[in-house]
């Protein structure tokens, strides 16, 4: 019986290790491609050893799309969007979870149903709205749409439902205002949910391709997905450049996730329990 448990555990760990290697391999392949010239990616057998062309590929990538300006655009837009969307989503979730008002359930249901609307159906109205405001090709056009992200509101609301109403009532009796209750009492206990929601919001905006492609029309306003897509033209494609760009684009997401990972699982479990 003991030997059977040992075999099961070894098999489980072997399966997990194989799964981890399969998941990590695309990132390793991108890094290898970023350090080699384009032709080596399609050699037979393929080269899995890092080369010496990393600086050369990054330099040529910068000459092609201005990678540092593009990286700044993506970091700025994604960071500001995450902060503003997290603030709006958290306040909306607090209202849905703890305030009792007429039509609360109906409004929240509409928010959830809005997630079923195809994103492409909203592009034309958004474009006309940004054009009428004169915001095309600006940071406002990239940041302000989709600030009230329905899934973020849903995730935060599910976590806030578990917050004791008695604490809020006690704070009100002591004379605390709603803003003070929200920022000093409720938010500090929502750190896991805030971290999980922030990761979703950051990744959504970082990987957003369609809207930045439509909303901006000059290369100095491109975000990373749009700029990297411009490398695939009708002429020869330098895959060393592409892999270097992909590797650079992946690093901020990994750093952001690792910095918040200890809160991520507990935040997701908090919403799942509800």
Report the pLDDT value the prediction gives residue 85, as an integer from 0 to 100.
Answer: 95
Q: Is the pLDDT of residue 272 over 50?
A: no
pLDDT band at 36 (very low <50, low <70, confident <90, very high): confident
pTM: 0.86
In a 10 Å sphere around its CB, with 0-12 CB exposed, 13-18 middle and 19+ buried, how is residue 201 labelled? buried
B/e letters for 56-83, b = 16+ CB within 10 Å, e = fewer, are ebbebbbebbbbeebbebbeebbbebbe
More confident call, 139 vs 240: 139
Region 4-20: what's the mean pLDDT? 88
Region 16-26: what's the mean pLDDT? 91
Residue 235 to residue 272: CA distance in whole angstroms: 49
Q: Identify the architecture of domain 59-273 in CATH.
A: Orthogonal Bundle (1.10)
Report the pLDDT value the prediction gives residue 175, as an integer from 0 to 100.
Answer: 85
Report the pLDDT value the prediction gives residue 70, as an integer from 0 to 100.
Answer: 95
Report the pLDDT value the prediction gives residue 274, as an integer from 0 to 100.
Answer: 45
Q: What is the pLDDT of residues 243-267, one digit of tens each?
A: 999 999 999 988 888 888 776 665 5
Q: What is the pLDDT of residues 135-182, one digit of tens each?
A: 999 999 999 988 988 889 998 998 888 888 888 888 888 888 888 888
Residues 6+ apart with CB under 8 A from 208: 223, 225
Alpha helices in 35-66 (DSSP H): 54-65
Nearest to 201 by CA among 246, 153, 137, 245: 153
Average pLDDT for the chain: 87
Region 218-234: what's the mean pLDDT? 88
Residue 201 to residue 195: CA distance in whole angstroms: 10
DSSP string, 197-262: HHHHHHHHHHT--HHHHHH--SGGG--HHHHHHTT--SS---HHHHHHHHHHHHHHHHHHHHHHHH
Residue 41 to residue 195: CA distance in whole angstroms: 37
What percentage of the chain carries pLDDT values higher than 70?
94
Ordered by start, the domain boundaries in the chain are 59-273
Q: Is the pLDDT of residue 271 over 70?
A: no
Report the pLDDT value the prediction gives residue 198, as an integer from 0 to 100.
Answer: 92
Region 11-16: what's the mean pLDDT? 91
Q: What is the pLDDT of residues 38-72, one digit of tens each?
A: 777 777 777 788 888 889 999 999 998 999 999 99
Q: Report, in this order, helix, strand and coil percent for the chain, each rounded to 5.
A: 75, 0, 25
Q: What angle do CA 167, 168, 174 make, to 5 degrees?
A: 90
């Amino acid at each position: 019986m003991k030997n059977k448990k040992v075999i099961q555990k070894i098999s489980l760990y072997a399966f997990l290790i194989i799964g981890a290697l399969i998941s990590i391999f695309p990132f390793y392949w991108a890094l290898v491609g970023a350090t080699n010239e384009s032709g080596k990616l399609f050699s037979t057998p393929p080269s899995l050893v890092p080369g010496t062309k990393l600086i050369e590929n990054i330099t040529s990538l910068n000459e092609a799309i201005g990678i540092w300006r593009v990286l700044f655009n993506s970091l700025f837009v994604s960071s500001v969007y995450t902060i503003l969307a997290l603030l709006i989503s958290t306040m909306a979730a607090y209202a849905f979870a703890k305030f009792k008002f007429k039509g609360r359930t109906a409004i929240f249901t509409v928010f959830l149903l809005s997630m079923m609307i195809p994103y492409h159906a909203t592009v034309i109205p958004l474009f006309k709205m940004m054009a009428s405001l004169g915001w095309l090709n600006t940071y406002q056009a990239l940041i302000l749409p989709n600030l009230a992200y329905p899934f973020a509101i849903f995730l935060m609301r599910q976590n806030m439902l578990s917050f004791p109403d008695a604490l809020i009532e006690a704070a009100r009796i002591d004379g605390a205002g709603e803003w003070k209750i929200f920022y000093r009492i409720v938010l500090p206990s929502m750190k896991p949910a805030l971290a999980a929601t922030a990761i979703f919001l950051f990744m959504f905006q970082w990987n957003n391709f369609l809207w930045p492609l439509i909303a901006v029309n000059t290369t100095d306003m491109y975000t990373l997905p749009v700029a990297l897509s411009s490398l695939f033209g009708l002429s020869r494609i330098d895959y060393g450049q592409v892999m270097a760009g992909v590797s650079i684009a992946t690093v901020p997401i990994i750093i952001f996730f690792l910095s918040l990972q200890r809160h991520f699982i507990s935040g997701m479990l908090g919403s799942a329990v509800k």
